[in-house]
Amino acid sequence: MPEVYTPSRVHRDEFLPLRGLRHHILRWGTPRTGRPPLVMVHGWMDVGASFQFVVDALADDREVIALDWRGFGLTASTGADSYWFPDYLGDLDALLDVVSPGAPVDLAGHSMGGNVVMSYAGVRPERIRRLVNLEGFGMPDVWPAAAPERLAKWLDELKDPPTLRPYASLAGVAERLRKTNPRLPADKAAWLARHWSRETAEGFVLNADPAHKLANPMLYRKAEVMACWQRIAAPTLWVEGSDDQLTRFWGSRYPREDFEGRLALVPNLRKAVLQDAGHMLHHDQPQALAALLEPFLA
């Protein structure tokens, strides 16, 4: 293994029972009177520890809380064969009831987590003081006629559920992380590998329930999502990397104009682009991201 990154702010591990599941959260800093915590939620196939580099780059030693979503990281899996998007909102709501029951929080989400926090902020606008969406683009609208094919795909995958490939060593996990994101420095990949994976009899496997890889039988309905986005009351910061991941991943299936039209519905929105950054912008440019977050959250 190469040299391993050394955090400048060490987190504390805590486990909370939320909606019948043992959830893992990471805490940095201590609560301050009159200063809300910054709650950060990760994306698909990621973990809460992924925000370590941004937390280290923050000049303010404020309280930061990161959650492992159900079936990711050290949070328990459901035991079911599918995961449902509304459950993420339910888990987030339960978390805020514990960590800040009487006051709004600053809330940030990356990718899938960005989509969760946008919907949540529209459903519970009074719970959010400032909102940050990091590359949470959402998905293309899906016509109802696609439902039979999608449901059939889901039923077929239930009969042959996905698995996660094992890696021979932590170095193998780190190599995989850097293959996915060549901008990720070797020392940070080595540090992340210890949080992204766990050792089993077959080798090191990612800390994720393979059921997350199943096709989602529920169609993405743009109109329903936009109904939530329009109700967001908190000042909102949208941040993306200079590499246009929306076009790269979806192409003409989800035109940039469609997404910009969605953002235009958010009442109080600021936009920023981080140079030399891709989808994992919190890994690629943590100092630059922290420099955007601090004045917005001040």
Domain assignment present for residue 231? The answer is yes
pLDDT band at 244 (very low <50, low <70, confident <90, very high): confident
Report CA torsion sign: 21, 24, 28, 29: positive
Domain assignment present for residue 193? The answer is no
User: Domain containing 106: what range?
Assistant: 12-141+220-297
Domain assignment present for residue 228? The answer is yes
At residue 61, the pLDDT reads 84
The domain total for the chain is 1
Amino acid identity of residue 229, one-letter, is: W
At residue 32, the pLDDT reads 86
The position carrying tokens 């104009």 is 257
Domain assignment present for residue 238? The answer is yes
Domain assignment present for residue 191? The answer is no
Percent of residues, the chain, with pLDDT higher than 70: 99
pLDDT in tens, 44-82: 999 999 999 999 999 988 899 999 999 999 999 998 999
C-alpha distances in Å from residue 265, one per residue of 46, 143, 173, 225, 245: 28, 21, 40, 11, 21
**pLDDT-wise least confident of 3-7, 19-23, 60-64, 135-139:** 60-64
Domain assignment present for residue 267? The answer is yes
Angle of the 186-196 helix axis to the 170-180 helix axis, nearest 10: 120
Angle of the 222-229 helix axis to the 112-123 helix axis, nearest 10: 60
Domain assignment present for residue 75? The answer is yes
Closest CA relative to residue 135, chosen from 233, 47, 263, 246? 246
pLDDT surpasses 90 at 158: yes
Percent of residues, the chain, with pLDDT higher than 90: 93
**What CATH number is attached to the domain comprising 232?**
3.40.50.1820
pLDDT surpasses 70 at 101: yes
Closest CA relative to residue 193, chosen from 178, 212, 182? 178
At residue 245, the pLDDT reads 86
Domain assignment present for residue 152? The answer is no
